Chains A and B, each alone.
Chain A
Amino acid sequence: MTEHRLPYVLTAAGVVALLGALAMVFLYAPQDAVQGPVQRIFYLHVSAAIAGFACFAIVVVASATHLVRPGAASDRLAHAAAQVGLVMLTVNISMGIVWAKPIWGWDPSQTWDARFTTTVVLWLIYAGYLLVRKFASPGWQASRLAAVVGIFGFIDVPIVYFSVQWWRTLHPSLRAGNGQPALPFAMLLTFGVTVVATLILTAALVSIRYSIEQQAEEQEGRATNASLELAR
């Protein structure tokens, strides 16, 4: 029974944590001296990216587990995590665009920023992952083909992460040149809380997706059994 309650507990915790994080973002964190209120996008923008990466890491681990020791649970987890990761990445990208507009005077034709581009590529890779699941025949084939895509696709995550160092980019680094954090303590604390809140929310979403997949499979199994009964 505890298994069924997990999504509810996580969702409640996620909502509370995220409300707290939002309060900190808007009420506690100091105003950025240069950028003004727009800078407050930063907290959720980066948290969503971290949550997305975490989801794709789950995809890799679950996929590898599934290939070595096939089982429905690892496959379901990989599928759920990929879907939620894609949502988080969408949040990250769209917030980034909103932020970039006033700060960089964003014009995609002129600023194909390295981190933006590689993130879009990551989005496309895991969109492809979901397409493989859609187009492969369900069952062992879909799960193992998707697992291979999920594992290979993760190559792009370190590329996104290091893109700020490898190419010239407009994305700031979280560390100043001397290795010290580039943010004052109040901002760092707000950031940390937002990251944790987003991760709890992500876990809630993954667990909900997981139970939906599980129920869909059970439903399908029941339908197949019913049609077998009829055939008899």
Chain B
Amino acid sequence: MARKDLRSEWRGRELLPALATFVVLALLIANFAFDLNGASVPRLAPGILWLVLVFVGLVAFGRSFAGEKDRGSLEAMLLTPAPAGALFAGKAAAAGLVLLATEAVLLLGMALFFGAPLSAAIVAISVAASLGIAALGSLFAALAAQTRAKELLLPVLVLPLWLPFVVLGGRALQEAFAGQAVSPEPSLLLLDLGVLFWIAAVLAARFVLDD
């Protein structure tokens, strides 16, 4: 399932270039909105990173299920003997990988444009946070795609639940960008939460995808 989504993304090359452009544009806007300079970058960079990441996530996860719903292929997939949980896990994994790819663009862009530091800790924290973000994002994207409101409902539902990741990750990134030693606890907690939400989301998928 994940392979199919990634292949169709690779063939279509729709989402990733659009998201990458979105990331660069968001960074440009942040630059003008905050009037960034060398002194303010360490303080503002984590905030900008999370804002951009959250909004990119909304687009990426929204697309992943809205497309299937529009084409009516979701029903077709549900007719196959594969369990709904497995279908969901595959789609969520693919959407998560797209998010990770966008994150790479984001981190590189921040390093290039803002001179923000790029360290293993920063990458580790954002990857750890993406795990849970992907699970919850995909679950609620699948849910929102079935309602009349569609895209409108996804941010309302998922943003409050993403907050713990932003709080934990934001605190950790603040340290990392300031060049302080980063304790591994926040990242481990993010990983734990991520695994927990993956299990919960896969279990709940049966009820969300059921038609």
Chain A interface (Cβ < 8 Å from any Cβ of B): 67, 121-122, 124-125, 127-128, 131-132, 135-137, 141, 144-145, 147-149, 151-153, 155-156, 159
Taking the closest CB of chain B, its distance from the CB of A147, in whole angstroms, is 7
B146 with A147: CB separation less than 8 A: no
Taking the closest CB of chain A, its distance from the CB of B183, in whole angstroms, is 15
Does B204 interact with chain A (Cβ within 8 Å)?
Answer: yes
A125 with B149: CB separation less than 8 A: no
B149 with A135: CB separation less than 8 A: yes
Stretch at the interface among B41-49, B64-72, B109-117, B154-162: B154-162
A121 with B146: CB separation less than 8 A: no
Q: Is the interface of A mostly helix, strand, loop or mixed?
A: helix
Q: A136-B148, A152-B200 are in contact. Are A124 and B160 (CB under 8 A)?
A: yes
Does B85 interact with chain A (Cβ within 8 Å)?
Answer: no
B contacts with A, residue count (CB < 8 A): 23
B143 with A132: CB separation less than 8 A: yes
B147 with A125: CB separation less than 8 A: no
Taking the closest CB of chain B, its distance from the CB of A12, in whole angstroms, is 37
A131 with B148: CB separation less than 8 A: no
B153 with A148: CB separation less than 8 A: no
User: Please, which residues of chain A bring their CB within 8 A of the CB of B152?
Assistant: 135
Instruction: Name the CB-closest residue of A to B204.
Output: A148
Instruction: Name the CB-closest residue of A to B161.
Output: A152
Point out the residue from A125, A141, A147 that lies within 8 Å of B161, measured CB to CB: A125
A137 with B148: CB separation less than 8 A: yes
